[in-house]
Amino acid sequence: MTLRVEYAYWLIGAWLAVCAFYNLRERRWTTAALWAIVACAFLFGDLIKQATAAKTSWPAQAMGIGVIVLGVLAGLRDKPLASVLHEAWDATARLGNKLFLPALAIPIVTLILVLLAPYLVFNGVPLLDKANATLVALAIACIIALIAALLTTRAAPTQAFAEGRRLLDTLGCVALLPMVLATLGGVFAATGVGDAVAAIVGALIPVDNRIACLVAFALGMVLFTMIMGNAFAAFPVMMAGIGLPLLVHKHGAAPAVLGSLGMLTGYCGTLLTPMAANFNIVPAVLLELRDQYAVIRAQWPTALALLVVNVILMAVLIFR
């Protein structure tokens, strides 16, 4: 039997349903509905994809309605979380450095499973889903770490769920932002936003000057990454608009260097934008920073300095 990434998704779906239930019990209706809808994406995601592949579009359309409802729910206020949380228990004994073990079990078990994945093959069937070995390994590591944490702290499983749910509801709909932004990336790609941006950039630059083309490509990667929140979305657009026709074909740039450094130039944009929510906004909320842009403020000088270095590296390395 292969442990497919879908099992991890079902586990997340079940966990989100538990969180919805906690909120339902406390009459936090908006938040309960929010997690219930997201839980559906995980519990029925496989079926929706299969239906779409079979040209049945209503399940995906129903999910689309769910996504729009999520947006509306996210804009509504709910009962404050503090009013429903009970500071019911505290750790009785000081557990000392033993507390680190379950926390470190998440990365370490993930590491071991990923490294062992090629050897964990039984009767020709791999134990971990090959395409998503890291994700499956992370899910297994979370389960093992949870068991270890329960044994170390002697807490009941319900206490772990209550604490995990407290963290999730502290994040609130910010937790959803990465997924929603990636969805927007999909919509932008399907509606030709990228082509329009590339056309505008192409119309603005002197195409005979290779350095001008290079700078336009680099700034386009940064700008488009900032808009999409994701360098992967910007890359095909800027490559199709400027990189391939102008730099590679017209000016003879080395494709391997251009691809690699172009992507990393986009990463400089990722460091600068609130659209890359999982890297820049989620941590601000997780770390309880007062300024939601504090992480971007901490990293913009590195991003700009690296952008300059990247452009110089490209100018030196790609035209040889």
Question: Is 110 one of the binding residues for other proteins (CB under 8 A)?
Answer: yes
Quick one: tokens of 92? 């009785």
Query: Closest distance between other proteins and the C-beta of residue 210, in Å?
Result: 18
DSSP per residue, 34-69 = HHHHHHHHHHSHHHHHHHHHTT--HHHHHHHHHHHH
- Interface pick for other proteins out of 179, 212, 215, 219 (rule CB under 8 A): 179
Query: Closest distance between other proteins and the C-beta of residue 225, in Å?
Result: 11
Q: Within positions 219 to 258, which residues make up the interface with other proteins, using CB under 8 A?
A: 227, 231-232, 235-236, 239, 244, 248, 255-257
Please give the Cα distance from 147 to 141 (Å, whole number): 10
Nearer to other proteins by C-beta: 127 or 286?
A: 286
Question: Is 4 one of the binding residues for other proteins (CB under 8 A)?
Answer: no
Please give the Cα distance from 165 to 19 (Å, whole number): 6
Task: From 121-129, 137-145, 205-213, 214-222, give the range in contact with other proteins by CB under 8 A.
Answer: 137-145
Question: Is 215 one of the binding residues for other proteins (CB under 8 A)?
Answer: no
- Interface pick for other proteins out of 17, 29, 132, 251 (rule CB under 8 A): 132
Question: Is 160 one of the binding residues for other proteins (CB under 8 A)?
Answer: yes
Residue among 29, 31, 40 at smallest CA distance from 67: 40
Please give the Cα distance from 243 to 240 (Å, whole number): 6
Run of H or E residues at 125: strand 125-126
Nearer to other proteins by C-beta: 129 or 216?
A: 129
Question: Is 75 one of the binding residues for other proteins (CB under 8 A)?
Answer: yes
Question: Is 301 one of the binding residues for other proteins (CB under 8 A)?
Answer: yes
Cβ–Cβ under 8 Å, residues 46 and 6: yes
